[in-house]
Structure 1
Amino acid sequence: MGQHAFFVTVLALSVPGALAGANMTTGAALSRIGPAVGLALWYAYWIALRGGADRPPLPYLVGALSGWAVMATVDPAFLPVAMAVLSPYWLRRAWWSAGGVLVLGAAWSWQSLTTDGSVDVRALTGCVLGTAVAVTITCYVATLDHESHKRQRLLDELTATQAERAAAERQAGTLAERQRLAREVHDTLTQGFASIAMLLDAARDDLPLDSPAARRVEHAMRTARDNLAESRRLVHALRPAPLDRTHLAEAVRELTALLAEETGTEAYTVVTGRPAALPPSTEGELLRVVQEALTNARRHARAMSVSVTLSYLGDVLAIDIQDDGTGFAPVARHTGVGLITMRERIAALHGTFAVESSPGEGTTVAVTVPLPVEPSASDPSAVSGTERMAPAS
């Protein structure tokens, strides 16, 4: 707004000076007012309306200087209008503005020489001093603007750094709370179920094998063991410790190894392509999706074999969790909370999520998420190919 006001002020003060002649006719007045109005409209279109104050377009400069040259030829009183014409360049093109000021001073001196036949020393001195002051002011304003933009960039970088730090602190706090809950569950529920299972096992040995009491104790012991396994899975879900030590591929291998050890199911992990490190939060979300899919296969599928395939395809990571269990009809079955949660996690990562299943044909959970444009250093612990975890004995 200050730049626009400066342009209007200089142009408005130059017009009365050009109209101050004693024998000014209507035609002469129009020859001075018309170009001034045209220049004002030209400035309004290119600078005020099209927003070219930061980076003035070349058509504005060509047209404005041409208009100024015509005005200065008609009446030398319009020479200072060059200052207004160059005002959009003061902040972004300091050297252009300084050169324009020097040209303006030279043009004034040349006009005085051709009009009067000589140049007064005092007038020439004043012109030189005025030009020097104008150049100094122009360069100073440009320097202030440059420093202001530099300071703004530093502030933006500081704000972004603070936001990243706050996000990291929130994530660290969330992980710490999850680990605390995992410790509490492990030290209370898990240990309690383990003690109950041991006591029931000892009580069963003191009862006749086929008595009703022995059968009830056996049923209670199976329930205690199932809840013990469930509490352990809850601890692993709350505290994805593998990611504290390694990357996603190795963490998934540990999950399938745990499934094979606890259930005797053939569970293995396949990694193809060149593994790329993802942000920790992304790897954590993907690990929980794999955990949920394996939990579903363990609870409902009664599968003999479960495989997890991680395919690094350049710009996409594809994860397939497949089992040969009972399967189900997705269109006829009510969608559980687990599937909804997995779908929401993948949607938050801008990926795709799909479930393919049919009764008696097993189930496949297919996930794809984008990888960084320039993949990070590959995980040295993850080797391309197929790795199978043998079922526990």
Structure 2
Amino acid sequence: MESWERTRRRWQHAFFGSWLVLTSAGPLTEVGQVLPVALVAGLAAWYAVWFVLRTPPAGEVPLPYVAGGALLCLGLFAIDRSFLVVCLCVLVPYCMDAVRIGLVAVLSCAGGWLWHSYHHGGSISWTEIAITVLIAVSAATSVGYFSSVARQSAERKELIDQLQAAQEARAAAERQAGVAAERQRLARDIHDSLTQGFASVVMLLEAAQERSPDDRHLAQALCTARENLVESRRVVRALRPGELDDGGLPEALRRLSGRLSDETGIDAHAVITGPLRPLDAQVQAELLRVAQEAVANARRHAGAGRVTLTLSYMEDLVVLDVHDDGDGFDPGRAAAGHGLLIMSERMAQLGGTLLVESAAGEGTTVVASLPVAAR
């Protein structure tokens, strides 16, 4: 994107330079004085100071540049009215970005030309008026064209930036999901093999010790087996999502709402409805991530005073509902929001759906649902 901006600036400099030469070459030849040449050179240098040696932020209008350029143009206009068109060069940098400024420049120059003709000749012919109007319309059309091209380019740049950011966010989410899935697989494998094996060994050694309570080797083997059983369980717990260790998803949502209230003062609470049922570890982890993202959005952007997390166990569905009473937004214009995209992808990967309901001033509701029967 930096190369695109540099290219745009180069075209702007070329546009200014060519327009300055085109509009001042004729009048300088006719006048034939040193002062006009110095003023035109000063105008070029003044432009270079503000737009070549430094780069103003996009959309900024440096008032010192406009004021200095206007003074130089007034000096040229006082020498000869033919230099009036040169005054457009002061606002040429904005003809590509701000159509209003360009149109003001065109109308000012057209009005100045007609006023100068009337002041020196005492009258204005209809031919002069018609020619001036045609030139002004042509110049205004050029300004509008340049402005539309610049606006379209800026929109494309913004879309490309958003696409790159979304791709990076999606890649990060996929990496995170892959790591989480691998940790879950390892936890299951360790639990189903090593942990169960150690538990069986402990039971067999306990039975053997009951028959030979004085056997020192059996006691040592039993102690070692118990230690390894405890260690394998510790590894399994470390591989599972920490938030789901105690009480599963319902307790994790209660802790999440409690932290939100403690840290921000927002009235947040979690509600669990329906008969509890065991859920796949990945389902719990993904629903928790959706809840965390929705709560983070309410905390950062919504200005909410109340947040409610509702987990509903239905006959064939488990539904997570996160509602806030904040400012709300237009979901149709939220395509740039990476969080919504990631939450939707999380649900789609598990065969579920994500619904976002919101309107300005009416709060926001995020509903994530998963088919339990399908899992």
Structure 1 residues 248 and 48, CA gap change in structure 2 (3 angstroms) = same
Letter in 2 for 1:109: L
Question: What is residue 324 of structure 2 aligned with on the other side?
Answer: none
Question: What is residue 13 of structure 1 aligned with on the other side?
Answer: 22
C-alpha displacement of 1:127? 1.4
Structure 1 residues 53 and 85, CA gap change in structure 2 (3 angstroms) = farther
2:193 corresponds to which of 170, 188, 192: 188
C-alpha displacement of 1:9? 2.3
Letter in 2 for 1:173: G
Structure 1 residues 146 and 230, CA gap change in structure 2 (3 angstroms) = same
Paired residues, number: 262
Structure 1 residues 379 and 95, CA gap change in structure 2 (3 angstroms) = closer
Is it true that 1:171 corresponds to 2:158 in the alignment?
no
Question: What is residue 77 of structure 1 aligned with on the other side?
Answer: 82
Q: Distance in 1 between matches of 2:46 and 2:171?
A: 49
Question: What is residue 146 of structure 2 aligned with on the other side?
Answer: 141
Structure 1 residues 63 and 53, CA gap change in structure 2 (3 angstroms) = farther
Q: Which has the higher contact order (CA 8 A, sep 6+)?
A: 1
Structure 1 residues 146 and 30, CA gap change in structure 2 (3 angstroms) = same
C-alpha displacement of 1:241? 6.3
2:13 corresponds to which of 4, 7, 30: 4
Deviations 1:157-209 (A, max 9, x none): 232222222212211111111111111111111111111112112222232x4
Letter in 2 for 1:35: L
C-alpha displacement of 1:142? 1.3
Letter in 1 for 2:40: A
Q: Distance in 2 between matches of 1:96 and 1:378?
A: 47
C-alpha displacement of 1:373? 6.8
Cα RMSD between the aligned structures?
A: 3.1
After the TM superposition, which residues 1-393 of structure 1 pair with which residues of structure 2 at under 5 Å, given as runs? 1-21=10-30, 29-52=33-56, 54=58, 55-207=60-212, 209-210=213-214, 214-240=215-241, 242-243=243-244, 245-246=249-250, 275-276=259-260
Deviations 1:340-378 (A, max 9, x none): xxxxxxxxxxxxxxxxxxxxxxxxxxxxxxxx8789978
TM-score (ref. length: structure 1): 0.59
Q: Distance in 2 between matches of 1:69 and 1:196?
A: 99
Q: Percent identity?
A: 38
Q: Distance in 2 between matches of 1:6 and 1:242?
A: 60
Q: Distance in 2 between matches of 1:127 and 1:380?
A: 68
Q: Distance in 2 between matches of 1:191 and 1:145?
A: 67
Question: Which blocks of at least 5 consecutive residues in structure 2 are unaligned?
Answer: 1-9, 266-298, 311-375
C-alpha displacement of 1:93? 2.5
Question: What is residue 309 of structure 1 aligned with on the other side?
Answer: none
C-alpha displacement of 1:234? 0.8
Structure 1 residues 44 and 172, CA gap change in structure 2 (3 angstroms) = same
C-alpha displacement of 1:221? 0.8
* Contact persistence 1:14–1:80 (CA under 8 A): yes
Deviations 1:253-282 (A, max 9, x none): xxxxxxxxxxxxxxxxxx9x95139xxxxx
SS of equivalent residue, structure 1 residue 86: helix
Q: Distance in 2 between matches of 1:148 and 1:225?
A: 68
Structure 1 residues 187 and 157, CA gap change in structure 2 (3 angstroms) = same
TM-score (ref. length: structure 2): 0.62
